[in-house]
Amino acid sequence: MPDSERKYADFGARQVPLDDKQALVDDVFRSVARRYDLMNDLMSLGLHRAWKDALVTAVHRPKNRPFALLDIAGGTGDIAMRVIAAGGEHTRATVCDINPDMLAVGRERAQARGLGDAVSFGEANAESLPFPGRSFDAATIAFGIRNVPRIETALHEAHRVLRIGGRFVCLEFSAVTMPGLGAIYDLYSFNVIPALGRAVVGDAESYRYLVESIRRFPKPEVFAGMMRAAGFARVSHRLMSGGIVALHSGWRL
């Protein structure tokens, strides 16, 4: 259903008024901001690093000319700093996120790594990016698109800000395809992950939402159709780790 016709959105396993979802998501990430990357390590048993490496490789940043990246919903700066490290001195990144607590963590880390001149951080909504059209060579979003209330609108915005020939790369959890893995994954997700959230962050409910939101996200083929509807060409996806995650890609041509 198009964004303009929807009145409700998924918030984990619940349906909430569309206009209320963003505030609820903000509360989740405000709660977990300081321990977000640590929890990613614990929840994925370190696999998130390999998944993000695959995203960075897919960005295809050249090393001999200026390259501008927009990392959407990238608050802690993890993806942006990885792309800068791989791309070298000509690479610049802009991180936007709607949550100021996540951005504060990202700014601190960039300064600590001496990357203050290479990466900038700004508060912005993925559904209404405050950048001119055709401003960036690539746009990325890692584990953030499922938290956007109006996914179709965010995809149109990502397409708008890309230059001709620019690539959009999205890393998101997906549906397990490996036989026998699904039951184990569900047991781990719904029992272990909230318990980790309680132990490490003091917040089990936020991580229960994050697990539930994975199950509600569109299947890769459906999401590919949404990307095409937003204007992306040469749309593709690659499943990793038995379908636990998918790397989606599309180009503005």
Per-residue pLDDT of 6-36, as tens digits, reads: 554 444 444 545 455 555 555 655 655 666 6
> H/E/C letters for each residue in the chain?
CCHHHCCEEEECCEEEEHHHHHHHHHHHHHHHHHHHHHHHHHHHCCHHHHHHHHHHHHHCCCCCCCEEEEEECCCCCHHHHHHHHHHCCCEEEEEEECCHHHHHHHHHHHHHCCCCCCEEEEECECCECCCCCCCEEEEEEECCHHHCCCHHHHHHHHHHHEEEEEEEEEEEECCCCCCCHHHHHHHHHHHHHHHHHHHHCCCHHHHHHHHHHHHHCCCHHHHHHHHHHCCCEEEEEEEEHHHCEEEEEEECC
Tell me phi and psi for residue 169, to 5 degrees.
Answer: -125, 125
Query: What does the pLDDT read at residue 204?
Result: 78
Length of the chain, please?
Answer: 253
Cα angle: 185, vertex 204, 196; to 5 degrees: 55
> What pLDDT was estimated at residue 38?
73
| pLDDT(234) > 90 | yes
Q: Which CATH number fits the domain that encloses residue 123?
A: 3.40.50.150
State pLDDT tens for residues 154-206.
999 999 999 999 999 999 999 898 888 888 888 888 888 888 878 877 777 87
Residue span of the structural domain in which 161 resides: 3-251
pLDDT band, residue 106 (cuts 50/70/90): very high
**Per-residue confidence at 249, pLDDT binned at 50, 70, 90?**
very high
User: What is the tally of structural domains in the chain?
Assistant: 1
pTM: 0.85
**Residue located via tokens 């919903």:** 73
Is pLDDT of 60 > 90? no
**Predicted pLDDT at 175:** 86
Residue 24 CA to residue 246 CA, distance in Å, equals 25
User: So what's the pLDDT on residue 25?
Assistant: 55
State the pLDDT confidence band at 225, using cuts at 50, 70 and 90: very high
Is the model more confident about 45 or about 54?
54
Whole-angstrom distance, CA of residue 167 vs CA of residue 158: 10
